[in-house]
Amino acid sequence: STQIQLVARPQGWPTEENFRTVEVTYGPLAPGQVRVRNAFLSVDPYMRGRMNEGRSYVAPFALGETLTGGAVGRVVASRSPEHPVGALVSHQLGWRDVVQEDAGQFRVVPDVPGLSPSVHLGILGMTGLTAYVGLTDIAALQPGETVFVSGAAGAVGSAVGQVARRLGAARVIGSAGSAEKARLLTKRYGFDVALNYKDAPIREQLAEAAPDGIDVYFDNVGGDHLEAALDAFNDGGRAALCGAISAYNSTGSTPGPDNLANAITRGLTLRGFTVGGFLHRSAEFGPAMSGWLREGSVTFDETVVDGLENTVEAFLSMMRGANTGKMVVRVDA
Ligand code: NDP
């Protein structure tokens, strides 16, 4: 098996030198074990936090050990009756082409007709669930409200805009980092307004785009975008704090929003969450999202990078904004 390991903790932006590729040989299957050939690997922003030392919501990656992360693959050998050869499985042992582990690490998922197995890493997996939980459980979106989403052309953000609409939002405003992405927001994902945050300060752009204010802010970015939302909030507004990617590669301390006091005067709720605490919501999310996809009222994109050897580059280019929708690495499909 070819596997990618972290060998040094990055300062600021990671480089190829922080990683190495190794060959690992597995022994014969022990009882209860399965061997899986990965088809797609997920590269996700939270992985940057795990490359640092110190506490995050998941433990840091260990140096000199194979990286982990979301993946889908097929069982190629099995000593577990629940995981027959040929089954599609979703798991957390990515950054390698083949993995052998106890069957309990692998969850059998359906082959969805007409869709790539990678949907289990994106729209039907963690990122779709994140969008759903953030809007429902965290921000308590109500019909008729105005929603602002940052990182809106990304995996989570593109789902947020469309799910918000399905849940009755009256006006959906998104921001992304290129003219091409901004065009997609309105033409493909049904946003009412698209802002390119590289054109002009997002604070000014949002004030203009939301003269009647916003009720919900889904924050993927932090920094200037959070300040823009705090300026634009109506009384009783709610922010789902999902990510703060603008600071993930910064060195030094991150300044707080300069207008946080608006939370007091306007009675705002700023609530952070990690999707891992809401896996029980899959029971409602799965059928809802499958239905929307079937009827065509929600769509999604994936940016596919080919080859395990390009996983680090795929991760870095996702952090730089090269992706539209979910960034995945095709290992073998
Ligand atoms: P995306 O598909 O959105 O990819 C990351 C995107 O971030 C890039 O495409 C880029 O788009 C944008 N970006 C990068 N730097 C900046 C910046 N300085 N300012 C504004 N945008 C920037 O990734 P995901 O959908 O997987 O994740 C989105 C966010 O959600 C992340 O913050 C992530 O950490 C968080 N997340 C949180 C979860 C939770 O449980 N709380 C679960 C999953 C994700 P652009 O070209 O527009 O700049």
Shared domain check, 267 and 146: yes
Q: Which residues of 34-58 are buried (b: 16+ CB within 10 A; e: fewer)?
A: bbbbbbbbbbbbbbbbbbeeeeeee
| In a shared domain, residues 74 and 17 | yes
Q: Please indicate, yes or no, if residue 62 is contained in any of the structural domains.
A: yes
CA 325 from chain centre, in angstroms, equals: 9
Q: Which of 276, 292, 311 is the last residue of a domain?
A: 276
| Rounded CA separation 229/221 (Å) | 11
Same-domain check for residues 117 and 130: no
Q: Which two tokens stand for residue 327?
A: 């960034």
- The percent helix, strand, coil of the chain (3-state, each to 5) is 30, 25, 40
- Predicted pLDDT at 333: 63
For residue 287, is it within any domain? no
Distance (angstroms) between ligand 1 centre and the Cα of 245 equals 5
Look up the CATH number of the domain holding residue 41.
Answer: 3.90.180.10
pLDDT (tens digit, 9 = 90+) per residue, 115-156? 999 999 999 999 999 999 999 999 999 999 999 999 999 999
- Cα(280)–Cα(249) distance, rounded to whole angstroms? 31
CA distance 81 to 31: 10
What stretch of H or E contains 148?
Answer: strand 146-149
| CA–CA dist 64, 101 (Å, integer) | 19
Span 12-20, average pLDDT: 97
Q: State whether 133 and 116 are in the same domain.
A: no
Q: Is residue 293 situated within a structural domain?
A: no
Residue 270 and residue 143 share a domain: yes
Task: Read off the pTM.
Answer: 0.97
Residue to mutate (ligand 1; options 191, 220, 275; most atoms within 8 A of CB):
220
Same domain, 88 and 166: no
| One domain, residues 137 and 272 | yes
In a shared domain, residues 105 and 131? no
DSSP-H helix ranges across 69-125: none
Residue 222 lies in a domain: yes
**Number of the ligand 1 atom closest to the C-alpha atom of 49:** 34
Protein residue whose Cα sits closest to atom 35 of ligand 1? 243
Range of the domain at 97: 2-121+301-330
pLDDT per position as a tens digit, 210-259: 999 999 999 999 999 999 999 999 999 999 999 999 999 999 899 999 99
Ligand 1 pocket residue status of 127, Cβ below 6 Å: yes
The tally of domains found in the chain comes to 2
* Separation of alpha carbons 325 and 312, rounded Å: 18
Is 295 within a domain? no
- Name, in order, each residue with C-beta under 8 angstroms of 197's C-beta and a sequence gap of 6 or more: 150, 175, 176, 177, 205, 224, 225
Q: What would the two tokens of residue 56 be?
A: 């995050």
Within 8 A by CB and 6+ apart from 202, the residues are: 150, 175, 195, 224, 225, 228
For residue 151 and ligand 1, the question of a CB distance below 6 A is answered with yes
The Å distance, Cα 96 to ligand 1 centre, comes to 23
What is the pLDDT confidence band of residue 326, given thresholds at 50, 70 and 90?
very high
Residues 182, 195, single domain; the answer is: yes
Q: Is 174 in the pocket of ligand 1 (CB under 6 A)?
A: no
Q: Are residues 108 and 57 in the same domain?
A: yes
Ligand 1 center to residue 47 CA distance, Å? 12
Average pLDDT, the chain: 97
Q: What is the CATH number of the domain that holds 220?
A: 3.40.50.720
- C-beta of 321 in contact with ligand 1 (< 6 A): yes
Question: What distance in angstroms lies between residue 238's CA and the mean position of ligand 1's atoms?
Answer: 19
Whether 282 is covered by a domain: the verdict is no
Tell me whether 0.90 is exceeded by the ipTM.
yes
Co-location of 21 and 88 in the same domain: yes
